[in-house]
Chains A and B, each alone.
Chain A
Amino acid sequence: MKRFLLIILIFLSITLSAQREKPKNPGSRIITSEMLHKSGILNIGDIFLLAKNTYTSTIEGNNLYINQNGLSPFQEQESIILIDGIRCDINIFRNQNTHVLPITIEQVDFIEFINTPTIVEGEFNSNGIIHIHTKKPPDDLTIRLGYNIGNEIGDPGPYTYINENAKNVDKLPMNFNLNLNYKGSKGYFIGTIKSMEGFATDESIQKRIDNITIDRKKFSLLSASFKLRYTDIGEYQDFFFGYSENQNYFFFTPYGNELPLKHSYRQYGLNGLFKLDKNISLKYLLIRNENTTSDWNNSYPQNFNWEFKKTTVRISSSYNGVFFNLTSGLEYSELEGITNQQLDKSLFSYKKLFGDFCFQTSTSLNQSIGIELKDVGENNSINIYNKNVWKLSKTRTVSSNFSFSEQLLENSNSFWKWNKYGYEFFNDNVKEYGDIPESFGKKFTSNLTFNNRLTERLAFEIAGYYRHFFDYAILQQQYYFNEQTNLFSSPTTFYKEEYLKNLNVTFEIDYNTSEYVNQTLFFSYQNILSASDNFKSQWNVFPKLNAVYEIDYHPHPTFSVWCQINFQSESLWNNYHYLPEQSENFYKNRIDEKILINLSFQKWFWQKKVWFNISFRNLLNETERYYPIGSEFNLRFYAQFKVYLNSVLD
């Protein structure tokens, strides 16, 4: 921490910060396209570098464990990801790889991290929502092209001929993206292709996958999508299609090891908006999400073939009046799981009713209440929230948010749900002790935020949250390492009626030192007030302290230097408690505190048609690890090149 403060002092002394737009929803955060460019964000999976108060963990850099604003433990993942209001169900057994999203980083206009439980576009999620808003294409033909390469330090170089044990560690993913858009008088067309290719060369992962793979550990992703918008009927009518095929080493949590898996994701559907009069609008959505998993590059048969098909129909209406707004809707969806084993139940249907009522209590106070009622077969769930925004003055705002929610097993796509209905994993390593719970638990959340813009150039925010998880099911895994096979066995024990009370305080200051320099300092501290032992051990994986300092120096509209210094305190991973001993200290059971410095240079050419970026990650080459058995990331260097050709035919 002292080193972090020292580095900040050095940077402050040369008065060089990143400009941040204030979020529209209380508790949420916005990342703009400009910020993505300045910081040299490489792809969709990389956006979390800028997401404050969001804890992420990854084993190999692709699959992510996310905890938005302290809303959920890492144990199973269910963040909702929306692209222009359309939900993308990319999860396989509640594991998510955001790279699979059929969208390119060049398409992004801004990303909203909705960090409090609320309803957005008919979707309620108690774990948070990530809403990606894409750019509307300009008139005529638009071509956008992006390419990047990267390199990680620590290769043997010529010394590989002197020391045979020296291993190659580089080969970071290469990304290629292409967007073709056309806008006419009656709508537009957006088409995208993206590809990503890389190598799993980190020693900690190689050791495990050496046993199960037959190639040289190359992974790849290919994705294509299109959207057709027609504006001659109603406000708009969209037809969209997206397809991604990802060949990767998928860390399957219940198994505790990687599986070479081919994951195909397909999404297609229709949605549209009609304005019935000045104040009333009607929206509809018909969507199908399909996730398929199959064997890939195996040296032994694994037989983990699945096909998940989810169909959703939703109708919602909005009334925007002078004193109140009302949004309400109903939804019907079906989830079918198809595998080559006979299941007791393979088709699940859900009915949902939701509403959000927003009213102006006084000229300075806005309040809203929302409710979602879900019929999930034998069980029903109810989720409710309340939001308040009180404008104290032109420059000062207080906002608060309260919610209650419950997560049911039946409503999820958890592996344990399918296991309950008769699915047996092919390997004996997946064992469970105790009854599979019907409910993952209940949670009460509250947030309080105070914003104050002191001057044109100086603003600060103080925020805090309180979380109370109760009647919670904790899926506790204890990993045991086998030195002969380099694999883990990891039986899962279900603990019920677990609880945790957690408090967090954040402080953020935005200071535009001059016309050319913006600075942001963010500080977050979270602590467990009380908890059951099992829940506590799961929550200890989150660092107590996180501090981020960003500076943005832009002496010219086409050139900028951006730097981020990120401090995270240590975290303890009790699931891997015995690992150092069992692996002769090759693996650890904790992640040490770290200071990461990221640096990015951007330059635009040709009236902002061509963009070039050079960025460095982990400049001090600190030990950068996000998971005890995951990759260690050294100093990396990326070069990116993008072309934006707007209105080509004009």
Chain B
Amino acid sequence: MKKIITILLLTLISLKAQETLPFSSLNFKISLQQNKNEVLLHQFWEPQSGLNFSVETPFYLGNIEAGISKIDFEGKLYIYPDFSSYFLFAGWSLNKQFFEFVSLKYGIRSGVFVMNFNDQAASEYESTESELSVSLIGELEFPVYKNISGNLNTELLTIFTDKRIKLFIVGVGLSYKLETPKWLRKFFE
């Protein structure tokens, strides 16, 4: 957490004024994800392919987003029940334009990492677990067709369980950008 705060402070210091109007556009994103690192968790559970869905809009400074990602984990032995994870997050990021068409996005997400265990013996109370999680994200975005863009993304997710779980996630996805309807912009403001 201390590292994340340091990075955040350094990022804040290097901030420049936002050029885009706040809430002027909505960027719907979907991406296929795969957890690629090996930590203690992976000795007992095998991660499956996941899916991430988010909506992003320009903010007073940088962009903000809200979204959800889902990754299933299969137990390697029957004593380790399969579980589905859902990361419900809000995020903030900055853009850096490279050349004319490629942009690098980097930022932070924070939210709740919910784990639903497929454990018949556990009570309703015990079979669902949720934990604060924070992730650092990086994304390379390039245009595909009109308002549609492609992206390659990475995410370093820290789940604040008693023994921290760190997941390195890579993904590929598409996004569709549209102008925010007036009524919605009024709501945001």
Give A contacts to B, CB under 8 Å.
Answer: 10, 13-14, 151-162, 166, 168-170, 216, 555-556, 558-559, 605-607, 610, 614, 619-621, 635-637
Contacts and interface: CB of A to CB of B under 8 A. Distances in A.
Given A14-B12, A610-B187, 5 more contacts: A10-B9, A153-B131, A157-B162, A159-B163, A161-B79
B130 A170 contact: yes
A635 B160 contact: yes
A156 B162 contact: yes
Given A151-B132, A620-B1, A157 B165 contact: yes
Contacts of B81: 161
Contacts of B129: 155-158, 160, 168
B132 A153 contact: yes
Interface of B: 1-2, 5, 9, 12-13, 22, 40-41, 44-45, 60-61, 73, 79-81, 83, 90, 110, 112, 115, 117, 125-126, 129-132, 159-163, 165, 186-189
Contacts of A170: 130-131
Q: Which DSSP category, helix, strand, loop or mixed, fits chain B's interface?
A: mixed
Contact of B110 (A13, A159, A168, A637): A637
Contacts of A620: 1-2, 5
Contacts of A152: 132
Nearest to A634: B160
B130 A151 contact: yes
Contacts of B162: 154-157, 159, 166, 169
Contacts of A168: 126, 129
Contact of B83 (A156, A158, A558, A610): A158
A635 B131 CA distance: 11
Contacts of A619: 1, 5
Nearest to B61: A555
Contacts of B125: 216
Nearest to B64: A603
A161 B44 contact: yes
A155 B1 CA distance: 16
Contacts of A621: 1
Contacts of A156: 129, 161-163
A234 B90 CA distance: 52
Q: Give the interface centre of A160, A166, A559 by most chain B CB atoms within 10 Å.
A: A160
Given A158-B83, A170-B130, A606-B187, A614 B110 contact: yes
A168 B186 CA distance: 42
A476 B165 CA distance: 46
Nearest to B119: A161
A170 B125 CA distance: 12
A158 B187 contact: no
29 contacts: A14-B13, A151-B112, A151-B130, A153-B131, A154-B160, A154-B161, A155-B130, A155-B131, A157-B161, A158-B73, A158-B80, A159-B161, A161-B80, A162-B80, A166-B162, A170-B131, A555-B61, A558-B189, A605-B187, A605-B189, A606-B186, A607-B189, A614-B90, A619-B1, A635-B1, A635-B160, A636-B132, A637-B112, A637-B132
